[in-house]
Amino acid sequence: MAPFHTRFAPSPTGPLHRGHIYAAQVAHHFARYSGGKFTLRIDDIDHTRCRDQFVNGIYDDLRWLGLTWDGSVPFQTKRLAAYQAALKTLQKLDLVYPCFLSRKELADILTAPHGHPAPASIRDTDKLLPHNEQQRRAATGTAAAWRLRMDKAQQSAATRLSWHDYLTGSHRITPEIFGDAVIARGDIGVSYHLAVVVDDALDHISLVTRGIDLAPSTHLHRLLQALLGLPAPDYLHHELVCDAAGKRLAKRDDAESIAQLRDKGLDQNDLLATLPALPALPRSALS
Ligand code: GLU
């Protein structure tokens, strides 16, 4: 088996909970099991929501659990130039366009009041606002978001792109589920989708392990990798950790943090015993 280079890439917007630890444990396991490398990356691109105290909490929690990482820790906020270069590549290929509409304006145009437009229905939003109004907004300092022109992007990528998941096999990409996805937000100049494909390439990640909730995003990531000429890693989308009621743990629901569990006297083994079993690779991956 080739050594896997995996990563755990938390956003320091709150304390880690057991769901994060399972994600870290899966990534760490496949790196160590294959004699590869495990990178810890701090996904702090949305600097409006990230806090240093949570970065320190991530280090403390991983160290406490013995989930040691290799090499230095990359921070997304140190890579803005690389994201801008990727955006520029897409601009030169004429595969992205500026969108000056706010979310609310888009929702008002595309749906009944208070509804949310289905992502797949968000297309050619530059044609929804008169050209002179776009120019006026640009001149008065409105930062446009950049959207991928999905039809054109799919046509320009090599045909029949797919991605491989070690648990569920090969998937032909269907990035049209995202419509003209936002590739760079107006406020921070980049999006998760653009940053993650650039980061995984810069970090030489060969196996992306992450929760199954992110599997749809992989369709878009694979397309971006092809458009930007980046290598395509393999994937393993694992199950999510749920609470006693079967609901997925989430920071926004104040899931109990690792620090709180530690303060209550739980030890490392007790905590790891509450997590799902690690996924097993199919035989074909082991030869
Ligand atoms: N920072 C992202 C998150 O915490 C990482 C997602 C990924 O693994 O690609 O959801």
Segment 223-282, tens digit of pLDDT:
999 999 999 999 999 999 988 888 888 877 777 899 999 999 999 999 999 999 999 877
- Which numbered atom of ligand 1 lies nearest the CA of 217? 9
- Which tokens hold the place of 146? 């950049």
Contacts of 283 (CB under 8 A, 6+ apart): none
- CB-CB contact of 27 with 34 (8 Å): no
The enclosing domain of 185 has a CATH number of 3.40.50.620
Per-residue pLDDT at 281: 79
* DSSP, res 42: B
List the one residue out of 50, 13, 36 whose CA is nearest residue 205: 36
Angstrom CA distances, 91 to 124, 149, 160, 262, stand at 15, 11, 23, 48
Q: Is the pTM of this model over 0.85?
A: yes
Q: What is the pLDDT of residue 95?
A: 98
Range of the domain at 160: 5-286
Which of 26, 43, 54 has most ligand 1 atoms within 8 Å of CB, for mutation?
Answer: 43
pLDDT grade, residue 177 (50/70/90)? very high
**Radius of gyration of the chain measured on its C-alpha atoms:** 20
User: Distance between CA atoms of 30 and 117, rounded to whole angstroms?
Assistant: 39
Work out the number of other CB atoms within 10 angstroms of the CB of residue 268: 13
Mean pLDDT estimate for the chain: 93
Domain tally, the chain: 1
The band of 115, judged by pLDDT with boundaries at 50, 70 and 90, is confident
Pocket test for ligand 1, best of 214, 217, 235 (most atoms within 8 A of CB): 214
pLDDT at residue 227, as a whole number: 97
Distance 251 CA to ligand 1 centre (A): 13
Alpha-carbon 139 to chain mean position: 32
